[in-house]
């Protein structure tokens, strides 16, 4: 559990999301079941690795006619060569995170290929290879980026890797990320890679929101089906509030100022529900009292 920094029991969800510049919507999910939780371990029919689940979710999108302009994936998948090859078989352009110890072949001198780790490659790049880019997120961020063409064992052709640092020099950087893409060379610029991949931040916003406000992790059930039903309810609640927020109804009727965040929209919705319930209750006290009486309670 990353939050705890240690190993503990937990539920693992694999999800796909849509972001189109305005809306960030959860699409599908799959529950990852660790081999230890299954009767036959890795031989159990229900056991699937996370990349397998991710490909199934992507297949659902494609079968619905949802073909993304670019697929953004995190390190658990971007560092998985077979997974990337499967994306390419489906004709998908992707940007993903790769590990610093990933071995690649790179042409340092004309006509001469050298095999080395990505962090070793970063260490020998001249300072002028990196350009400054400002990323517009909830909190604007400045990074220094260098792009280089590489080859990976088991994958034909060249890919572009963007080396993204939070400082101007390797020696002073405290964070260095490596992003790989199969986008055409003319498109895969440093600016395009980092600004496009930054949109994946909306997935993290989704998780913070549904964990903090919609009870994603608050289920007290044990069965796989029950857990999935709970997740479906959370997905629906999130999408419902988002739809009302974006269409403006909540702001027009239930707020005296613009609703700038999902949480503000949720509070406006709660205000609407509480108001309508109190109005109803004022006209139906007898009905509500009878309802409580059916549980052996007195409303008086």
| pLDDT(46) > 70 | yes
pLDDT of residue 3: 63
pLDDT of residue 62: 96
| pLDDT(37) > 90 | no
pLDDT of residue 105: 92
Give the CA radius of gyration of the chain.
24
What letters, b where the CB count within 10 A reaches 16 and e where it falls short, cover 252-271?
eebeeeebeebebbbbbbee
pLDDT of residue 34: 86
pLDDT of residue 270: 95
pTM of the full structure: 0.86
Structure-token match 């064992």, residue found: 153
pLDDT of residue 194: 95
Within 10 Å of residue 178's Cβ, how many Cβ atoms? Answer: 23
The two tokens of residue 6 are 């240690």
Residues 118 and 161: beta-carbon distance below 8 Å: yes
The two tokens of residue 28 are 């599908």
| pLDDT(8) > 80 | no
What is the mean predicted confidence (pLDDT) over 195-199?
Answer: 93
Pairing between β-strand 12-19 and β-strand 24-32 as defined by DSSP bridges:
antiparallel
| Spatial CA neighbour of 268 closest among 250, 252, 246, 256 | 250
Q: What pairs with residue 146 in β-bridges? A: 163
- The DSSP secondary structure of the chain, one letter per residue, reads -TTTTS-----EEEEEEEE-SS-EEEEEEEEE--GGGSTTGGGSTT---HHHHHHHHHHHHHHTT---S-EEE-HHHHT-HHHHHHHHHTT--EEEEE-TT-EEEEEEETTEEEEEEHHHHHHHS-GGG-EEEEE-SSS-EEEEEEEEEEB-TTS-S-EEEEEEESSSSTTT-S-EEEEEE-S-TTT--HHHHHHHHGGGHHHHHHHHHHHHTS-TT-----SHHHHHHHHHHHHHHHHHHHHHHHHTHHHHHH-SS---SHHHHHHHHHHHHHHHHHHHHHH-HHHHHHHHHTTT----
| Rounded Cα–Cα distance for residues 110 and 279 (Å) | 78
- Name the superfamily (CATH) of residues 70-198: Transposase Inhibitor Protein From Tn5; Chain A, domain 1 (3.90.350.10)
Encode pLDDT of 201-260 as tens digits: 999 999 999 999 999 988 888 788 999 999 999 999 999 999 999 999 899 999 999 999
Encode pLDDT of 97-146 as tens digits: 999 999 999 987 766 788 999 999 999 999 999 999 998 876 788 999 99
Domain boundaries, the chain: 11-67, 70-198, 213-293
pLDDT of residue 4: 65
């Amino acid at each position: 559990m990353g939050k705890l920094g240690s190993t503990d029991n937990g539920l693992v969800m694999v999800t796909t999301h849509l972001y189109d510049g305005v809306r960030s919507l959860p699409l599908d999910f799959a529950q990852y079941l660790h081999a230890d939780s299954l009767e036959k371990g890795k031989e159990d029919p229900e056991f699937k690795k996370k990349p397998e689940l991710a490909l199934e979710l992507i297949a659902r999108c494609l079968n619905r006619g949802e073909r993304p302009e670019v697929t953004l994936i995190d390190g658990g998948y971007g560092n998985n060569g077979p997974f990337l090859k499967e994306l390419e078989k489906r004709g998908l352009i992707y940007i993903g995170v790769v590990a610093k110890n990933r071995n690649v072949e790179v042409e340092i001198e004309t006509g001469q290929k050298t095999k080395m780790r990505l962090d070793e490659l970063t260490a020998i790049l001249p300072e002028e290879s990196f350009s400054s880019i400002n990323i517009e997120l909830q909190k604007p961020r400045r990074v220094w980026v260098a792009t280089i063409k590489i080859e990976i064992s088991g994958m034909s052709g060249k890919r572009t890797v963007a080396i993204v640092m939070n400082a101007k020099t390797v020696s002073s950087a405290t964070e260095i990320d490596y992003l790989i893409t199969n986008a055409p060379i003319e498109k895969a610029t440093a600016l395009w890679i980092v600004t496009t991949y930054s949109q994946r931040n909306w997935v993290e916003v989704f998780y913070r929101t549904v964990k903090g406000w919609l009870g994603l992790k608050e289920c007290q059930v044990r069965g796989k089906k029950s857990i999935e039903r709970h997740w479906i309810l959370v997905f629906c609640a999130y999408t419902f509030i988002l739809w009302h927020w974006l269409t403006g109804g909540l702001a027009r009727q239930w707020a005296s100022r613009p609703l700038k965040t999902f949480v503000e929209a949720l509070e406006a919705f709660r205000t609407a529900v509480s108001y309508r319930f109190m109005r109803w209750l004022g006209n139906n006290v007898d009905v509500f009292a009878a309802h409580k009486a059916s549980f052996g309670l007195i409303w008086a």
